[in-house]
Structure 1
């Protein structure tokens, strides 16, 4: 074997060193570019010297960098970016054209355009329509998605022109286009799309078609005409998603299946299918269907798995679904069964009261002494929500007692305090002629009570009196530097009624610490005739550069998140490249032990498990709002998304999907997926708790222990 000369070794070592240095320099440039993009996204602006548009239009940049700039502009959402993004539609790179359309769709989103009080530009709409003939399926799919996000029927071409061919769905890109077309047709409520969607039911996208078609039919009160035998084939499909979709459609067809046919699916091996079967039976609204639901509920109550201190989650959630279905069925025998089940368990009693009110708002409110004890916050919250929705005078009197401090035996005062925002409007609606009650609630220290009162004023009181106007202005002035966005968001539409004082407050709100407040203030000023108020919005404050840089440098290393609950642990894989700001926020809150002890406050069978609210009601948050980071990921089973009350209103609440939810795609930031322990997620019910969250970084020179970024 020949020996390598020392000179050759030196040259080889030098070459390797140069390669390593070049790679390190390239990685540093990538991190610094991404850092600037993140600062723009967090600050909700284009950057100094229009950094994002310049980066996007710089043809010397790699396509991946230009795509990232496009995504950032779409997330920020300023309509002024549309002209820049439109230039990307003529790019030679199909993925860049698709990214441009994704960003354009985010800006044209109906909610976003409403925030800017803007209308779609005809030139942009024409450019999107031309992309419907693009040779790349992904570009056509993003074009359809963008048209659907406008929420306007006139922008989506008729199905004959763009509906997918069921016989041409062998490739994944073709299926992707088909799913995006289905979602777009439902978003704009295109009734003419129904026949084409029906033809897709037996196709590879049949699960999406079934669920979304049912949503469209319910929204438009449509009766569906399915080909003979098609529904029967859907209900026996080997795919549980298709069976569930068929059950969603069953009550909406011209000749619905009878109760025995649907009740046979209550023995389906898939939990989700059984839940959908209960829903379908409830929507039949027949005595036979109610009887089938009752039998199933009684069989669950007889199971030994429901005995003891630990409830069997699947059975318990099916029992909840049965209660909801009986409320929807509207049959007297069903109401009788619900009242009987309300004596079994406190949470079931609360859900039963909600079901009774949903079926008949005038139903008599049961006495707490006649039902099982409500021994936890989740049960108390559902009971209060049911009382607020009830039209029974006894329920109103009971709510007034709560407001006066009459806490039921065994209840904690903080349960009632956290639930007050849910019944404020009911109290105000019963006494519209008592302005002192409004003034009292506007001065309440609870920001969510304030917000509920302001919402009621906006919806129910066409003209505020002098004292109410003064109280609203005082609330806004006091909240300018506060830690709650909800009252400010609710107050903005009322400020024009306060004349010059209201205008001045709106101008001050342009520099609010909450970006959604700034946008709403600017929109209102624009509607009042103010010249270009959006130009007066300054960039939002952002985290220090080193915070972003540290996070980005860790991007090359693995990160595992363990969420410990009283039912066991499940694990998350964070999508740090797809939703970096959301991941930073989540990791920071977890590192501060923010989530420790927080309740699982919402569980909807076969839909979501939701947590992260410190109040346990769905209203609370950490005191800051983070931007939405819509991306190309979709809501399959086990995906983790941010809960919102509007664009850019995320904070600490997150949810895990229990089954695919295509209607959520493109609307809620996906930032993680459950990588292990999904059975633990499935076993969670309302009232369970997060015990702690641990973060493990796979960094060689650091100990394998929880670390904060």
Structure 2
């Protein structure tokens, strides 16, 4: 491995700019936007992508006409991150005169982040057909606008044009994701071009997003199309998308394909198939799913299918199925399997006492108690939850709030502000919430603190949210450590499925990488688990509790460099901007709705095959710096 120093090792000005970014010092960064050295102007412009201070808008708009194209590119990215509608007309004007193709591509995307409904036409001008980068930029702009719900029929027509096979890959990818991610679209009239992309595009990310888009098509041909994709596409991520695009209305014509998917070579597909049956099966007996579950080896697929058995069972079937699940819980040795079995019991109100006893058992491991309280909330949310048991649920929440467990506290607080549970009249012990809040360790448990405060605001019918406390213990960048990290630093994650090699992005995320390196050297990640794996999305680990509620006693500020969530991007989990800690996730495929919202601090270089096999409960034996 190379040991070339990173850009901060010999350049104190770049360290000052990064420190100003980390400390959100707009005034300092403004001065560097005027630097005679273009690399400093570019770094300062990029810093505003993380700072996101609208007070800097005039400075950034001025920098859009900088003599250096890379500065203009960085400025466009920062303007998009700031997402101020006042920037839209200036960006559109710059696009018309921009001489650098790459900078113009960034300006198109930034425009999509800034336009509103009235300024959306600025994004719809059709660029010359010979300028492929403009097509790519416009497609990303339309995607970014669509994510915010800013669209029109004309915009959708343009997006579909950009999905065509003749368009460059970047345009097709953005267009397919725009159709998949823009809410409340009816894409029925575009069934043919979307189906063509879903079934014939050469690149799997386009097929994934186009297949997802088919869920917005109403057609009698759709069940056969989705079943064909599920049976034939070679990429498991496309097969997952096909299952997720299926719904209850097409259950009968697709169920055989979904049934076969329970035996898919990819456990990710099998899990998604089980989730399909849990959510969408109609007219089936509980015994059908119970019998199939008992023949499955993978505990996660089996537990999900047991949940389907309980969910769809007739009244006379439920006691027997519930007994099977409770017996499996009693004999299972894996804490994650036990947790999923409690989750399955969340399908039957008659299991309430069993789940509560397991949740609050003395010295219960956090993972099981976390899944348990979530199952109890799910039970209370069911329409068949007995009215006579509702006071019992209030006492359960009080019991959770009286503990010192952040997951129990945070989940109970979240339930209190769920409108459909109507807890304003039922729960009156607000002092218990305040006492729980006083026990919260900040900034480590900011998520639980926030849930408690939101519950207090909700119960008081307060319309103005109480602001979060200042995170005084945020972690400054350790520059002495950063300067020792090579630009090409690698780390290997040793897992129970095999090794995954990461390249750390120290030049784009120095504070995050320094924290990660420090934790690695302390052995922090040894014997942790992947506690969250969402098929065709992420595998997430690094939680000291093993349930997603754990962290360090400090938080990091977000670092949003010009990086995108493609396959194998490694990001820091957070409870919102500037709350990152020790948990991280690896993406299975492009997930561009995360761009600019979660810090990317590394990229998988080798071992993506391992990442695709990871499942909940798989172990991180250690992480080693190479």
Please tell me the TM-score bracket, short chain as reference.
Answer: 0.7 to 0.9
2-side partners of 1:636 and 1:74: how far apart? 19
Where do 1:608-687 residues align within 5 Å?
A: 608-687=538-617
Residue 364 of structure 2 corresponds to residue 384 of structure 1? no
Aligned partner of 2:322 among 353, 361, 367: 367
- Give the aligned partner of residue 45 of structure 1: 25
Report the alpha carbon displacement of residue 605 of structure 1 after superposing the two structures with TM: 2.6
Q: More displaced, 591-600 or 413-422?
A: 413-422
Distance 1:206 1:339, change over 3 A: farther
- Give the aligned partner of residue 197 of structure 1: 159
Residue 197 of structure 2 corresponds to residue 222 of structure 1? no
2-side partners of 1:639 and 1:487: how far apart? 27
2-side partners of 1:541 and 1:270: how far apart? 41
- Give the aligned partner of residue 318 of structure 1: 269
Report the alpha carbon displacement of residue 374 of structure 1 after superposing the two structures with TM: 4.2
- Give the aligned partner of residue 33 of structure 1: 13
Q: Deviations over 1:193-221 (max 9, x none)?
A: 221111122222324422431232xx305
RMSD of aligned alpha carbons: 3.9
Residue 468 of structure 2 corresponds to residue 488 of structure 1? no
Aligned partner of 1:127 among 82, 90, 96: 90
- Give the aligned partner of residue 81 of structure 1: 56
- Give the aligned partner of residue 217 of structure 2: 253
Cα contact 2:109–2:140 (8 A) shared by 1: no
Cα contact 1:599–1:611 (8 A) shared by 2: yes
Aligned residues: 596
- Give the aligned partner of residue 348 of structure 1: 301
Distance 1:286 1:238, change over 3 A: same
1-side partners of 2:303 and 2:577: how far apart? 32
- Give the aligned partner of residue 291 of structure 1: 256
- Give the aligned partner of residue 519 of structure 1: none
- Give the aligned partner of residue 452 of structure 1: 411
Report the alpha carbon displacement of residue 511 of structure 1 after superposing the two structures with TM: 4.4
Cα contact 1:565–1:690 (8 A) shared by 2: yes
Distance 1:28 1:141, change over 3 A: closer
Report the alpha carbon displacement of residue 157 of structure 1 after superposing the two structures with TM: 1.2
Where do 1:267-666 residues align within 5 Å?
A: 267-282=232-247, 285-297=250-262, 300=264, 314-333=265-284, 337-343=288-294, 344-345=296-297, 346-355=299-308, 364=318, 366-369=321-324, 374-388=332-346, 390=347, 392-405=348-361, 413-423=365-375, 425=377, 431=390, 438-460=397-419, 468-479=429-440, 483-493=444-454, 510-513=469-472, 542-543=476-477, 547-556=478-487, 558-666=488-596
Distance 1:156 1:660, change over 3 A: farther
Structure 2 unaligned residues grouped into runs of 5+: 382-388
Counterpart secondary structure, 1:367: helix
Cα contact 2:64–2:72 (8 A) shared by 1: yes
Report the alpha carbon displacement of residue 670 of structure 1 after superposing the two structures with TM: 1.7
Cα contact 1:89–1:100 (8 A) shared by 2: yes
Report the alpha carbon displacement of residue 448 of structure 1 after superposing the two structures with TM: 2.5
Cα contact 1:138–1:177 (8 A) shared by 2: no
Distance 1:51 1:198, change over 3 A: same
Cα contact 1:601–1:613 (8 A) shared by 2: yes
Where do 1:687-698 residues align within 5 Å?
A: 687-696=617-626
Counterpart secondary structure, 2:528: coil
2-side partners of 1:123 and 1:274: how far apart? 42
Q: Give the number of the structure whose alpha-carbon radius of gyration is greater.
A: 1
Residue 44 of structure 2 corresponds to residue 69 of structure 1? yes
Counterpart secondary structure, 1:692: strand
1-side partners of 2:188 and 2:311: how far apart? 25
Counterpart secondary structure, 1:601: strand
Distance 1:213 1:434, change over 3 A: closer
Report the alpha carbon displacement of residue 72 of structure 1 after superposing the two structures with TM: 2.0
Q: Deviations over 1:79-121 (max 9, x none)?
A: 333333233223233332332232233233xxxxxxxxxxx5x
Counterpart secondary structure, 2:491: strand
Cα contact 1:282–1:326 (8 A) shared by 2: no
The alignment's TM-score, normalised by the length of structure 1, stands at 0.74
2-side partners of 1:427 and 1:297: how far apart? 26
2-side partners of 1:587 and 1:649: how far apart? 18
1-side partners of 2:491 and 2:590: how far apart? 22
Report the alpha carbon displacement of residue 464 of structure 1 after superposing the two structures with TM: 9.0
Distance 1:189 1:282, change over 3 A: same
Report the alpha carbon displacement of residue 63 of structure 1 after superposing the two structures with TM: 1.6
Distance 1:473 1:665, change over 3 A: same
Report the alpha carbon displacement of residue 577 of structure 1 after superposing the two structures with TM: 0.9
Structure 1 unaligned residues grouped into runs of 5+: 1-23, 109-119, 301-313, 515-539, 697-709
2-side partners of 1:292 and 1:78: how far apart? 51
Q: Deviations over 1:48-100 (max 9, x none)?
A: xx3222122x242x222112112223312333333332332232333323322
Report the alpha carbon displacement of residue 582 of structure 1 after superposing the two structures with TM: 1.4
Aligned partner of 1:93 among 54, 62, 68: 68
Counterpart secondary structure, 2:371: helix
